[in-house]
């Protein structure tokens, strides 16, 4: 019941939002709807945790053997909770932003939330694909209508990129489906498919490209910085906070356990791509002058690490990925909120045009420093837990011969991330004020509250990550039991 609610509430309220006339009403409606979703999700994770409450399985297209089956395992619960938490945060943080045709804006936002929930909760491949695309279409409209100057070509590139990749995945899904013993799209039937190594390899790459584009993994990342830069900030938060997790999630649920041999065999290749992308993205991030692009590239580096950890195939690395998916979502949304605040006040995102904000806006400065340090995985912050687990997992991995090389080179990217993050803090907050920043004001109460909540979340998870790790324990074990770490 709970998964259905999580999908249907945003879906319905999104559709209704198209018919709201007034901007204030639409905004309030969206906020209330996401708060209800959040309540359902929190209740589901804390109170109604039994299986029947988390599984719904009804007939959908019997002639194809596809069922509307949604269920939340640990990973599904965690990511649906991330989705449920993020949207109210995004709406409150951008509460003061005004949009043309606001009803449509909020409608598309809610629809994308529904799509995301569906992706994280469906355990039927066709249904998964359905929601996967459904999350994309609203994002396309959001970026194209409300984005920056170059929005149309940029968003189009983004769309074509992800659409081609998804279609490749569709081919893989259909192929898997034709091989299932009982002609069904259910995840469990996919587990039981026996394939030759050659088939597995082909399917592996078809799936991998779809997920790699979403995440994005080098060399499929070229759409990402442009899109993040051109999208309205609220959408960027959704894209980077939650939508990239679709890629990581998809890999863990639909790729690694289904095609274990190919995963093992191609693990080193993928890991090399990840490492290369991490270093490359970090180096570019150091050069960036635009805040949005800087954060976009830093996101590529962080996601690369997660992908690397998936292919390390052990419990620590997997748990690290799980908790880091949640953390990265929260942290990057925090960063975008700060960017939004800065941009709204000064009408610029250029590092070279900012400076000396710490004197004028001390609260903003403190909050930003905490969020950005969390982004570089400083101890006591949430990201430290995730990255520590991932690194020790990669280091002790037995699935690859190059575990030490991978861990060491990935470590370099952490150092690089410290460089660009500190550089950003310094350029924005310290130094002398200039003509643009001299009239700076500190942030308002609602912004303080939201950033405050994020910062508290960062610190709490940083000190006491156990509840989250417990949620995902079961998923990690069942996935690892299907993976292989040596030549079969």
C-beta separation of 327 from 383 below 8 A: yes
Task: Please say which residue, 61 or 438, places its beta carbon nearer to other proteins.
Answer: 61
Q: Give which of 39, 42, 44, 63 is closest to 55, Cα–Cα.
A: 44
Contact with other proteins (CB under 8 A) among 37, 103, 144, 236: 144
Backbone angles phi, psi at 436, to 5 degrees: -80, -40
Task: Please say which residue, 149 or 441, places its beta carbon nearer to other proteins.
Answer: 149
Whether residue 382 is preceded by a cis peptide bond, meaning omega within 30 degrees of 0, is no
Segment interacting with other proteins (CB under 8 A) among 169-177, 293-301, 354-362, 378-386: 169-177
Segment interacting with other proteins (CB under 8 A) among 30-38, 126-134, 315-323, 426-434: 126-134
Task: Please say which residue, 162 or 382, places its beta carbon nearer to other proteins.
Answer: 162
CB of 121 to other proteins, least distance (A): 16
| Contact flag: residue 286 with other proteins (CB under 8 A) | no
Burial group, residue 435, by CB count within 10 angstroms (0-12, 13-18, 19+): exposed
CB of 235 to other proteins, least distance (A): 14
Which DSSP category does 252 fall into? I
Task: Please say which residue, 32 or 64, places its beta carbon nearer to other proteins.
Answer: 64
Task: Please say which residue, 64 or 412, places its beta carbon nearer to other proteins.
Answer: 64
Contact with other proteins (CB under 8 A) among 95, 175, 346, 395: 175
C-beta separation of 452 from 337 below 8 A: no
| Contact flag: residue 273 with other proteins (CB under 8 A) | no
Give CA torsion, residues 113, 116, 121, 122, to 10 deg. 120
Cα-to-chain-centroid distance, residue 396: 26
Whose structure tokens read 């007034």?
Answer: 22
Task: Please say which residue, 68 or 266, places its beta carbon nearer to other proteins.
Answer: 68
Task: Please say which residue, 204 or 384, places its beta carbon nearer to other proteins.
Answer: 204
Degrees to nearest 5, angle at CA 228 with 338 and 434: 45
Cα-to-chain-centroid distance, residue 384: 18
| Contact flag: residue 134 with other proteins (CB under 8 A) | yes
Task: Please say which residue, 60 or 95, places its beta carbon nearer to other proteins.
Answer: 60
CB of 144 to other proteins, least distance (A): 5
Q: Per-residue contact track with other proteins, 149 to 168, x per CB under 8 A?
A: --xx---x--xx--xx--xx
Based on its alpha-carbon atoms, the radius of gyration of the chain, rounded to whole angstroms, reads 21
Segment interacting with other proteins (CB under 8 A) among 61-69, 222-230, 259-267, 278-286: 61-69
Task: Please say which residue, 129 or 280, places its beta carbon nearer to other proteins.
Answer: 129
- Tokens coding 137: 């279409």
C-beta separation of 73 from 117 below 8 A: no
Q: Per-residue contact track with other proteins, 63 to 102, x per CB under 8 A?
A: xx--------------------------------------
Task: Please say which residue, 170 or 463, places its beta carbon nearer to other proteins.
Answer: 170
Query: Could you tell me how many residues of this chain bind other proteins (CB under 8 A)?
Result: 29
| Contact flag: residue 178 with other proteins (CB under 8 A) | yes
Cα-to-chain-centroid distance, residue 320: 15
Instruction: Count other Cβ atoms within 10 Å, centred on residue 276.
Output: 15
| Contact flag: residue 61 with other proteins (CB under 8 A) | yes
Backbone angles phi, psi at 298, to 5 degrees: -65, -30
| Contact flag: residue 130 with other proteins (CB under 8 A) | yes
CB of 130 to other proteins, least distance (A): 5
| Contact flag: residue 62 with other proteins (CB under 8 A) | yes
CB of 281 to other proteins, least distance (A): 26
Burial 77-92 (b: 16+ CB within 10 A, else e): bbbbbbbbbbbbbbbb
Task: Please say which residue, 140 or 388, places its beta carbon nearer to other proteins.
Answer: 140
C-beta separation of 75 from 249 below 8 A: yes
Alpha-carbon distance of 378 to 373, in angstroms, equals 6
- Tokens coding 127: 């249904």
Q: Which of residues 374-413 bind other proteins (CB under 8 A)?
A: none
Whose structure tokens read 């419990």?
Answer: 315
Binding footprint of other proteins on the chain (CB under 8 A): 60-64, 126, 129-130, 133-134, 137, 141, 144-145, 151-152, 156, 159-160, 163-164, 167-168, 170-171, 174-175, 177-178
């Amino acid at each position: 019941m709970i998964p259905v609610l999580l999908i249907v509430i945003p879906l319905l309220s999104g559709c209704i939002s198209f018919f709201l006339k007034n901007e204030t009403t639409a905004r309030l409606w969206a906020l209330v709807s996401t708060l209800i979703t959040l309540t359902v999700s929190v209740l589901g994770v804390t109170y109604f945790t039994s299986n029947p409450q988390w599984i719904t399985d009804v007939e959908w297209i019997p002639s194809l053997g596809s069922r509307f089956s949604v269920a939340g395992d640990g990973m599904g619960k965690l990511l649906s909770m991330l989705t449920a938490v993020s949207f109210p945060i995004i709406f409150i943080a951008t509460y003061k932003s005004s949009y043309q045709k606001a009803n449509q804006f909020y409608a598309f936002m809610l629809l994308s939330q529904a799509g995301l929930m569906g992706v994280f909760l469906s355990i039927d491949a066709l249904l998964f694909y359905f929601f996967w695309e459904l999350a994309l279409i609203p994002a396309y409209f959001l970026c194209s209508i409300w984005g920056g100057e170059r929005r149309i070509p940029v968003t189009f590139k983004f769309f074509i990129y992800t659409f081609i990749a998804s279609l490749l995945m569709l081919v893989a899904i259909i192929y898997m489906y034709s091989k299932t013993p009982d002609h069904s799209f259910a995840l469990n039937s996919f587990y039981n498919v026996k394939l030759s190594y050659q088939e597995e390899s082909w399917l592996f790459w078809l799936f991998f490209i779809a997920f790699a584009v979403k995440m994005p993994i080098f060399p499929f990342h070229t759409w990402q910085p442009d899109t993040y830069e051109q999208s309205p900030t609220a959408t960027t938060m959704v894209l980077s906070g939650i939508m990239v997790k679709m890629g990581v999630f998809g890999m863990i649920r639909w790729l690694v356990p289904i095609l274990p041999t190919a995963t093992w065999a191609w693990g080193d290749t993928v890991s090399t791509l990840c490492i290369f992308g991490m270093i490359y993205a970090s180096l570019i991030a150091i050069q960036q002058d635009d805040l949005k692009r800087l954060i976009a590239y830093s996101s590529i580096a962080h996601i690369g690490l997660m992908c690397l950890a998936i292919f390390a195939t052990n419990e620590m690395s997997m748990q690290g990925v799980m908790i880091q998916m949640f953390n990265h979502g929260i942290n990057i949304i925090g960063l975008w909120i700060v960017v939004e605040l800065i941009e709204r006040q000064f009408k610029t995102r250029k590092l070279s045009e900012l400076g000396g904000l710490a004197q004028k806006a001390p609260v903003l400065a403190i909050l930003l420093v905490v969020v950005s340090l969390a982004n570089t995985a400083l101890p006591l912050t949430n990201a430290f837990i995730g990255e520590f687990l991932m690194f020790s997992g990669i280091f002790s991995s037995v699935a690859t011969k190059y575990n030490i090389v991978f861990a060491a080179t990935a470590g370099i990217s952490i150092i690089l991330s410290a460089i660009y993050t500190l550089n950003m803090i310094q350029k924005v907050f310290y130094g002398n004020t200039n003509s643009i920043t001299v009239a700076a004001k500190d942030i308002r109460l609602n912004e303080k509250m939201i950033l405050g909540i994020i910062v508290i979340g960062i610190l709490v998870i940083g000190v006491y990550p156990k509840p989250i790790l417990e949620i995902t324990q079961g998923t990690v074990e069942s996935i690892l039991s299907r993976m292989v770490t040596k030549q079969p």
